[in-house]
Chain A
C-alpha cells in the first residue's frame, strides 16, 4: 500500500503556481520522496525527488518539511500541458515504486 496521502484533485489557473501537497508521516530515515506524473494514458513521467533538502530542477521544486512528514511539489508556472495525475511516492533505495491514487491536477485557462 502507498505510504502517502494526497488530495484527490486540485485546480490551478494557467500561469499560476501549482502547489501539490503530500503527507508521508511514516517515512523512515533512508526513504526518498519521489514525484511522478501521468498524462492521459502515457507512461509515468519522473519529475523530481529528494531526501531532506529542498530540490529544484527545470520542471519543478520540491519542498520537504524539516520533520520530513510532508512535502509540496511546486510547478512554478502551470500550463495546460501540466494537466495530469501527480503521484507522491516514498521509496527506499531501488525498491519498486508504490503508486497510490495521486492528485488529479486540472490546469484551467
Chain B
C-alpha cells in the first residue's frame, strides 16, 4: 500500500512567486492534515480536511495560503505570493477516522 506522497520534494522560488504543493493521502483516508516546520522551530499545524471540507484552518498563517481538497482525494497548498518567512518543510498527513495519522516525507520550500 502506498504511503502519503508529497510533490515536489524540494522547491526553490523567488520572493513574490507562487508555489503549489501537492499531497496524495493514503487511499480511503478521510482526514488530511497540513503541517509546517520552519527552521529551528517546532512542527506547527496548518489545516485539517475531513474529506473535502475544511474542519480546522486555525493554523493557516495568513491569506497568502490557500488549501484545497477537491473531491476529497488529493490536496494542494498554494502560497501566493511567497515571502522569505514561508521557507520551511511542509508536511502532509492522512488518517482514517479516529486513529493514527501517517506523514509524507515533506516538501522543502526555500524562498529566496
Residues on A facing B (Cβ under 8 Å): 2, 34, 38, 41-46, 49, 93-101
Q: What are the residues of chain B within 8 A of A100 when measuring CB–CB?
A: 42
B73 interfacial by beta-carbon distance below 8 Å: no
Q: Are B43 and A46 in contact (CB under 8 A)?
A: no
Q: Known contacts being A42-B106, A96-B48, is A101 close to B42, with CB within 8 Å?
A: yes
Residues of the A chain whose Cβ atoms lie less than 8 Å from the Cβ of B97: 94
Q: Which residues of B contact A38 (CB under 8 A)?
A: 43
Return chain A residues, CB-CB under 8 Å to B44.
99
Q: Are A44 and B33 in contact (CB under 8 A)?
A: no
> Closest CB-CB distance, A58 to chain B, in whole Å?
14
Contact of B101 with A46 in the complex, beta carbons under 8 Å: yes
Indicate the size class of the contact surface on chain B.
20 to 34
Decide if B33 touches A43 in the complex (CB within 8 Å).
Answer: no
- Does B80 touch A at the CB level, under 8 Å? no
Interchain CB contact under 8 A, B108 and A41: yes
Residues of chain B whose beta carbon lies under 8 Å from any beta carbon of chain A: 4, 31, 33, 35, 42-45, 48, 50, 56, 59, 89, 91, 93, 95, 97-106, 108
The residues of B that contact A94 with a CB separation of less than 8 Å are 31, 50, 95, 97-99
In the complex the two chains form, is A96's CB within 8 Å of B33's CB? yes
Closest 8 A-B residue pairs measured CB to CB? A43-B103, A99-B43, A96-B45, A46-B100, A44-B103, A43-B105, A94-B31, A43-B104
Nearest-Cβ distance from residue A75 to partner chain B, whole angstroms: 18
A44 contacts B45, CB within 8 Å? no
* Contact present for A44 and B31 (CB under 8 Å): no
Q: Is the CB of A41 within 8 A of B95?
A: no
Give the residues in chain B near A99, CB-CB below 8 Å.
Answer: 35, 42-44
B100 touches A34 (CB 8 A): yes
Are A98 and B45 touching (Cβ within 8 A)?
yes
Chain A residues whose CB sits within 8 angstroms of the CB of B101 once the complex forms: 46, 97
Assuming A41-B89, A43-B91, A101-B42, is B103 touching A96 (CB within 8 A)? no
